[in-house]
Chains A and B, each alone.
Chain A
Amino acid sequence: MEESISDRPSSRTQVFHRSCFAMNTRFSMVLVDIDSETAEAMATGVERDLRALERLMSRFDLESPVSDLNRRASENAVHPPDGLWEILSLCRDYWQRTRGAFDITLWPLNQLWREHFDRGEEPTEEAIERARQRVGLERLHLDETDRTVRFESEGMSIDLGGFGKGFALERVAASLRTQGVERAFLSFGESSITVLGSHPHGPAWPVGISDMFDPQENVRIFQMRNESLSTSGTTPYNGMGGERVFGQIVNPRNGRPIEGYRTMSVASPSGMEAEVLSTALLVTPERDRAAILSGFSNVSAVEIVYHSSAGEYVPRSEWQYGF
């Protein structure tokens, strides 16, 4: 049968792709309908911005301002650079708006569980209690007048791992928009995604939340336009290498990891808010979630729980909001 001209795409879409390692994971950007030279220059700029943000926020870089805070802030009030001060202020606001569910001070508690997980054990009640004395954003004092930071307890530690990627995506998206980019797909480790505009061949960017036990299957689909999607969850393994790793999320309210395999995906016009809410909602009991979400606009969310059945894990949407 003869194919009519109009059935074919009028011209092949020009696609530019670049991946790089940043913030402990892989960042990928896909741009469409932009000439390769311009796209290349944009990608270089994005990589540079990501590195700068990483240097500001990484707790693994011993010379970062976050490492400096973690070393000194339990002894003295520390004056962080403006960029970090703004991030800490934002994090405190989100902590309040999520009623303590989003918290950047959980590192000592996470670390306790991670170390025990590696040894195949569970920490004692006393150890959990001790760690809980060193976590909680109420113990992080931000002095608005002097713009200084002080930790109330010895051993406190800031970890921006659950915030940085969303924050960076929001910055990158804003910068690309300023440069005239209308369509883009940006991904941080595929757990944080931001899109600009829509897919060139459809009304939105359709993004599937994949079944973590059967990655080619979509459990839910988000039709994304100018928004961000973040997924948090407990995983049995690192999706890339297949090896068993600590993939749990500790609930700040009781100091224990949340149970079972479950994920929370949140779409929001703001990359930061999607990132913050995906962890916050996961550790918040279902009955309290709507109250938190009433303080945020244009958010949709879905929780997927994996039920064990005949030796297989079957995903089910248990809770959703804003659809």
Chain B
Amino acid sequence: MRAAPVGESPSDRVRLGLIGVGTRGNLHIAHLLRTPGVEIAALCDDYEPHLQAGLARVKGAKGFADYRQMLDMPGLDGVLIAAPLYLHARMCLDAFSADKHVFCEKSLAYTIEECQAVADAHRGSKKVFQIGHQRMFSPVFLRAFELVRNGEIGQITQIRAFWHRNGNWRNPVPDPSLEHRLNWRLYRAYSCGLMTELASHHMQVANWFLGTHPASCVGYGSINYWKDGRELYDNVNVVYRYANGTHVIYDSLISNVFYGLEIQIMGPKGTIEAETGRVYAEHPKPAPGIVQLINGLENGFFETVPIGGPSWVPDLKKDTKGSLLVNEKITDDGTAISLAAYANAIRSGQPIPGMMEQACRAGVCVLMGQAAMEQQKEIAWPEGFRE
């Protein structure tokens, strides 16, 4: 992370505008109010109660109902888009046209064509683009990535990820006419539900760790419990196939929370459970004396190795239950750091590399999964897609 000193002068301050002041937008406000050198200069929401509640929290911010008017506001450096999925691409493209830096919430866009359009519009631009996949900024996931790169678990041979909740996934609606606006995650015209709103996180991690995107996927989805008029699946099961023969098995449901959420990264030498932040070795490493003995045997040496000694104390008992990836207590899942990084990238004029690639891979991936379930057939990675 780039740590840039932040002065108090107005020219040092990054002035941001938020598009969408719902649940996620409000979380961003909370983080940004604590981020040094950031000014929330404007808020935009076409749902008046959300806008007014936001303006009450952020003193001095200008309010807008139409994001295009906000983009015309002088002195605005960048935007944060936390609007429903179907609006992401349009808002990104308009923000780029208005010469703004962009932080877009996941998932990148509503269709694969839109993902391509956003990537194309940003290619060659010096503007910062960041995607709301905060696990890339989490110390725990970064440590996990380092361990994998160092060969700690061997080659990744399978990734299993799941996100389970028990609840209807609804927001309260003051008037039935607002159902689609406030519960857009349940309707196909605005979202792809569990895939774009939850699965995109773990698919981003899977693509990041495997260093590529899947070649194809198959899957099934249905509404088997929350039969309340929603259009999007309440349970999904998708298997992604990568070119080297690795598979990512993803499932999500909202009628059982026993297993919660996890991503299990598996290899012949160990398993990482990144959400709980632990790594488990398949077999413990032998003592140094045993390693020396094995080397001697393999290489035909006959030597005395210092092995024997009192081991009065249980040694390494913790290893039987895996070890923590990061020892300190981490309260931020990466969101706070990712927002600070966005502000620093704008201030320093140095975008964090690879953000659009990660956004596209995860964004396209979950749309492939949705298509596989809806069309009940194998869906291939879009040929010729330029990240």
Contact = CB atoms under 8 A, between A and B. Distances in A.
Interface in B201-247: none
Nearest to B300: A9
B306 A210 contact: yes
A245 B306 CA distance: 22
Given A9-B300, A189-B315, A26 B306 contact: no
Given A12-B298, A28-B286, A185-B293, A240 B316 contact: yes
Contact of B312 (A202, A206, A235): A235
B311 A191 contact: yes
B302 to A, nearest CB: 4
Nearest to A278: B310
A20 B294 CA distance: 16
A193 interface: yes
A18 interface: yes
A307 interface: no
B309 A239 contact: yes
26 contacts: A15-B297, A19-B283, A19-B285, A19-B290, A20-B284, A24-B317, A25-B311, A32-B297, A185-B293, A190-B290, A190-B309, A200-B297, A202-B302, A207-B304, A207-B307, A208-B306, A210-B309, A211-B306, A212-B310, A221-B304, A232-B312, A233-B312, A234-B312, A238-B313, A239-B311, A265-B308
A190 B297 contact: no
B322 to A, nearest CB: 11
B313 A26 contact: no
A13 B290 CA distance: 16
A21 interface: yes
B174 to A, nearest CB: 53
A81 B317 CA distance: 28
Contacts of A19: 283-286, 290
B294 A190 contact: no
A89 B272 CA distance: 45
Chain A, interface SS category: strand
A234 B311 CA distance: 9
A246 B305 CA distance: 27
Interface in B311-368: 311-317, 319-320
A210 B312 contact: no
Interface string A191-208: 101000001111000111
Interface in A1-59: 8-9, 12-13, 15, 17-21, 24-26, 28, 30, 32
B282 to A, nearest CB: 10
Nearest to A200: B297
Interface of A: 8-9, 12-13, 15, 17-21, 24-26, 28, 30, 32, 185, 187, 189-191, 193, 199-202, 206-212, 215-218, 221-222, 229, 231-235, 238-241, 245-247, 249, 263, 265
Contacts of A200: 297
By Cβ-Cβ distance, the 9 closest A-B pairs, closest first, are: A210-B306, A9-B300, A233-B310, A189-B311, A24-B314, A202-B302, A206-B304, A201-B302, A191-B311
A233 B310 CA distance: 5
B259 interface: no
A191 B310 contact: yes
B255 to A, nearest CB: 34
Nearest to A221: B304
Nearest to A192: B311
Given A30-B294, A30-B297, A202-B302, A190 B314 contact: no
Contact of A235 (B302, B308, B310): B310
B300 A207 contact: no
A191 B310 CA distance: 5
A21 B302 contact: no
A208 B315 contact: no
B287 interface: yes
B313 A247 contact: yes
Contacts of B285: 19
Interface in B265-288: 283-288
B289 interface: yes
Nearest to A261: B310
A201 B300 contact: yes
Contacts of A201: 296-297, 300-302
Contacts of B306: 208-211, 215-218
A213 to B, nearest CB: 11
Contacts of B296: 201
A199 B297 CA distance: 8
A246 B312 CA distance: 9
B303 interface: yes
Contacts of A207: 304-305, 307-308
Contacts of A231: 308-310
B167 to A, nearest CB: 36
A283 to B, nearest CB: 13
B294 A21 contact: no
A210 B312 CA distance: 15
Contacts of B319: 21
B321 to A, nearest CB: 9
Nearest to A208: B306
A199 B302 contact: yes
Contacts of A25: 311, 314-315
B172 to A, nearest CB: 46
